[in-house]
Amino acid sequence: MTEKVFYQDSYQQTLNTTITAVQADRIEFAATIFYPLGGGQPGDQGTVSCNGSSLNIVDTRKGETADAISHQLESETHELQIGDEVTLKLDWERRYKHMRMHTCMHLLGSLIPVPVTGGSVGAEKSRLDFDIGDNQLDKEDLTIRLNELVQSETTLALESITDEELDQNPSLVRTMSVQPPRGAGTIRMIRIGDIDYQPCGGTHLSNTSEIGPVRVSKIENKGKRNRRVHLVFDD
Ligand SMILES: [Zn+2]
């Protein structure tokens, strides 16, 4: 099991921890600040340092055992061993862009109150797919309303509900393709004031203003009912 420090503090950029598993170029630590690929958000990159030498971590994935997180090294050639004390450092520039994009996806979803069928977050661009039905979407109108939400300087809060409470309120789950993990007893909920409230395991900003200016760059038809909304930073 890997302690997920990014769940308590998504802004922590370095961490001292210990190696708990080594398998060729994949390493597990007692704790990590690296977010693993999931929910449309890429796995984090960065470095692991031990005894003065530093190695690149090129990807982060969920591990083979429950609750483990696997960190992919650039090379299989290394001397890291179980028990080694190491320092992890995030590629913060990349991760912070993911946080800005991911948080903005919540805002975008709040403006289009239909089921979300898929999505992808990137450091430069992101997209969200909607089962739109007969609704119409307008690029310029969405861009204006999205930036208004960004500029509303709304604080994000981390909350939790029980599995049963979620079962009784299934409409809280916006993303049809990603169901929140059950079995732990509680579900992690993200509240953005009165804009959005849903289960989410991603990494978020603490305030919407940090997203900065954004623009809906394209709305694509993906079949009769589906629309793909593309988003970019506009700074
Ligand atoms: Zn989220």
pLDDT in tens, 73-85: 999 999 999 999 9
C-alpha dihedral over 210, 159, 41, 192, to 10 degrees?
A: -40
Neighbours of 128 (CB within 10 A): 24
Between the CA of 153 and the centroid of ligand 1 the distance, in Å, is 17
Same domain, 112 and 219: yes
Note the pLDDT of residue 186. Answer: 86
Which residues of the chain form beta strands (DSSP E)?
3-4, 14-23, 26-29, 31-32, 46-50, 53-62, 69-73, 85-90, 116-120, 125-131, 156-162, 186-192, 196-199, 214-221, 226-233
Same domain, 51 and 135: no
Same domain, 101 and 76: no
Between the CA of 63 and the centroid of ligand 1 the distance, in Å, is 21
Between the CA of 106 and the centroid of ligand 1 the distance, in Å, is 6
Between the CA of 51 and the centroid of ligand 1 the distance, in Å, is 36
Q: CATH number, domain at 211? A: 3.30.980.10
Same domain, 72 and 146: no
Note the pLDDT of residue 136. Answer: 87
pLDDT in tens, 139-198: 999 999 999 999 999 999 999 998 888 888 888 887 766 666 666 778 889 999 999 999
User: What CA–CA distance (Å, rounded) separates 158 from 11?
Assistant: 14
Same domain, 159 and 101: yes
Between the CA of 218 and the centroid of ligand 1 the distance, in Å, is 22
If you search the block for the tokens 């992890």, which residue do you land on?
A: 88
Q: Which amino acid type is present at position 49?
A: S
DSSP 8-state class, residue 41: B
With CA atoms as reference, report the closest residue to 159 among 35, 7, 12: 7
Note the pLDDT of residue 178. Answer: 65
Q: Is the pLDDT of residue 69 over 90?
A: yes
Same domain, 106 and 200: yes
DSSP 8-state class, residue 155: B
User: What CA–CA distance (Å, rounded) separates 7 from 63?
Assistant: 17
Residue span of the structural domain in which 29 resides: 3-90
Domain boundary among 90, 106, 129: 90
- The chain-wide mean pLDDT, for the chain, equals 93
What share of the chain in percent tops pLDDT 70? 96
Same domain, 127 and 202: yes
Domain boundary among 60, 90, 120: 90
pLDDT in tens, 92-128: 999 999 999 999 999 999 999 898 999 999 999 999 9
Note the pLDDT of residue 120. Answer: 95
Q: CATH number, domain at 27? A: 2.40.30.130
Between the CA of 201 and the centroid of ligand 1 the distance, in Å, is 6
Same domain, 76 and 108: no
Same domain, 66 and 148: no
Structure tokens at 9: 């503090």
Q: Is the pLDDT of residue 4 over 90?
A: yes
Same domain, 112 and 213: yes
Same domain, 149 and 207: yes
Same domain, 33 and 106: no
Between the CA of 62 and the centroid of ligand 1 the distance, in Å, is 17
Q: Is the pLDDT of residue 49 over 90?
A: yes
